[in-house]
Amino acid sequence: MRRSALLLTLLLPAAMTPQDSPDQKIRRHLKAQAEALEKEFLPNLKTADDFEKARPGLREQYLDMLGLWPLPEKTPLKPVVTGKIEFPTFTVEKIHYQSRPGLYVTANLYLPSPNQGRHPAILYQVGHYQAKRDGHKSAVQDHGIWFATHGYACLINDTIELGEVTCTHHGTYSQQRWWWHSAGFTPAGVECWNAIRGIDYLQSRSDIDPDRIGATGISGGGAATFWISAADERVKASAPVSGMSDLTWYIGEDGVNGHCDCMFLYNNYRWHWTTIAALICPRPLLFVNSDNDGIFPMPANERIINRLERLYSKFGAGDKVAAVVSVGGHAYRFDIRRSIFEFFNRTLKNDAGPVKDADSGLSEDGKARRIPPSDLRVFPQDADIPPDQLNTKIDEVFVPAAKLEAPPREGFVAWRNGVVGRLRTLCFPADLPIDRSFTSSSPWDSKFVDSAAPCLVVLDGSQELPPAPPDWVKAAVGPSFKVLFRPRGGWTRKNPPNTIERAHALLGATVDSARVLEIVDRIRTLGVPCTIVGRGEAGILAAYAALLEPAVQGVTVVDPPTSHREGPHFLSVLRVCDIPEALGCLAPRPLTILGGKKEAFERTVELYRRAGAADKIERK
């Protein structure tokens, strides 16, 4: 069979049945991935000793996926008490501290009155209450009051979305901030870091027992309780309420739609999701949920607690993990509050007695607040907000971008291999399944003759396959034999909640990184060396495919973007390199850049020079 006829046979798209719409195909594909990742829970860790040996590596991966590895510097907290509210049996201190310079955490610290001795402390994580300028810490004052009137200190932090000085938790959910993926930024990382520094603050005080610190919260606060408890072993007991499900629900049943971005890390290492909670083991854990919670359904809750019980049993600590299920929807009720308070009494105070006044922190009608919410403001007036605050733009600066030094000529190969290796680890998981049923390919050949090196032309996933090469293709690569390829795309996009795009991140990918791997797969299907070309973001997808596949002999990018801030987006790619450096890693293979901002690619030219391949790069 002639080569071109063989290629035509190989590259025709798979047959589609009438029900196989792009939406159905991509959802089925993602669901299968989620089920595969959660088929077994830590299957290689048979004993407690196995888990302890794996724990340091798991913890590093976990922090890496939050954008917290290496751990940021613990700069001075600079805590300030801006006011106090005193009652006969408790006091509230209105404080702020800086978890990093300019990132202000506004908080209320509830303390027993009289304040004598050292108290166990509760780090209370707040869910998504709408308290506006007062900060949503004011909406859960009843918990702070209960703890303080029962011998605890309770630190209630505002989050960055609904606190007194705000950013957003909804960057990819509704704000189209897809560069969050490229930056490796998730608000979960900020909330976890703010909580780590909150523990630092608690431990710095003479009225807090540093070895008796617990964490709790509901909903977004439940998720944040998991984040901090998995990250910091100084949390001795954890009671997350309605804060975690699993991938089978989030992806397989579109559960991701019910949650903003603070509920998720980027699953670069393709974890079974319950592994996050596993890092708490064998410390005491109370897993609290409700039986009619539409965003944390019981089948997933039961799967999670069953996994955790098996893990805790390996430590001989089955009595340290338990589940509470309340009848009702997504909310606190008396039995939930009582269970949490009794749990902390047992674990932090060695008090096994029953709690009979679980609602004592509430007002008499259970609705009105004892303290006017505005009285709990740390910054009473807008003019009091520090002018150096970075909260409103913390998403832009929280995760440091890579700053790559150009290597010496003799060190270029090692430098390039290091960059590409890190890209493979963070951005392009080797085990990500390829489903060829939603990619499209066809050959173009005006003369239909054999070609020793066909050219793969990559189109944007939203484009249809045109019947003939567009003019930009003719100008870029001439009349030689071409194969047109369109990676995944075509499904319905709805903003919010951007289901498909956000589901990819929970599987360790983005739509764009999956497209790169599909391009690599198609190159390998060709079975012969080739060149590759693309326009705009598709050109950068083509370039990354070439980085991962040595069979590519040369690359042409047309009108390329200058930074991954613009796209395409890969998980955490800006923590490794940006587009000019990635193109430079193609050296010494030929690279042609047509159009684009010429000055933006001086870095690429310099890297080609360092590689001893200055004659292999061309700009037009």
Residue 25 located in a structural domain: no
User: Which residue, 340, 370, 397, sits at the end of a domain?
Assistant: 397
Do 165 and 275 have their domain in common? yes
pLDDT of residue 17: 46
Do 318 and 446 have their domain in common? no
pLDDT of residue 16: 42
Residue 35 located in a structural domain: no
Nearest to 600 by CA among 583, 575, 585, 616: 583
Task: Tell me the two tokens of residue 349.
Answer: 């105070």
Residues with Cβ within 8 Å of residue 61, at least 6 apart in sequence: 268, 269, 271
What are the per-10-residue average pLDDT scores of the chain (620 residues)?
Answer: 38 48 92 96 97 98 97 98 97 98 98 96 95 93 97 97 96 97 98 98 98 98 98 98 98 96 97 98 98 97 98 98 98 96 98 95 75 96 97 97 92 97 95 85 55 78 75 79 84 94 97 96 88 95 97 95 97 98 98 92 96 95
Residue 40 located in a structural domain: no
CATH no. for residue 187? Answer: 3.40.50.1820
Residue 547 located in a structural domain: yes
Residue 6 located in a structural domain: no
Name the pTM for this structure.
Answer: 0.94
Domain range for 393: 48-397
Do 159 and 186 have their domain in common? yes
Residue 33 located in a structural domain: no
User: Which residue, 397, 426, 454, sits at the end of a domain?
Assistant: 397
pLDDT of residue 482: 82
Task: Tell me the two tokens of residue 219.
Answer: 């909903």
Domain count, the chain: 2
Phi first, then psi, for residue 68 (nearest 5°) are -120, 20
Do 167 and 316 have their domain in common? yes
Residue 22 located in a structural domain: no
Residue 62 located in a structural domain: yes
Do 335 and 435 have their domain in common? no
Do 518 and 603 have their domain in common? yes
Sheet holding 455-458, edge to edge: 440-444, 482-486, 455-458, 530-535, 552-558, 591-594, 617-619
Name the strand (E) or helix (H) holding 555.
Answer: strand 552-558
Do 348 and 488 have their domain in common? no
pLDDT of residue 1: 35
Do 533 and 424 have their domain in common? yes
pLDDT of residue 266: 97
Do 392 and 429 have their domain in common? no
User: Which residue, 350, 373, 397, sits at the end of a domain?
Assistant: 397
Nearest to 229 by CA among 299, 109, 320: 320
Do 244 and 97 have their domain in common? yes
pLDDT of residue 14: 42
Do 425 and 387 have their domain in common? no
Do 386 and 422 have their domain in common? no
pLDDT tens readout for residues 458-501: 888 777 777 777 788 878 887 667 888 888 888 999 999 999 99
How many whole angstroms from its chain centre is CA 337?
Answer: 30
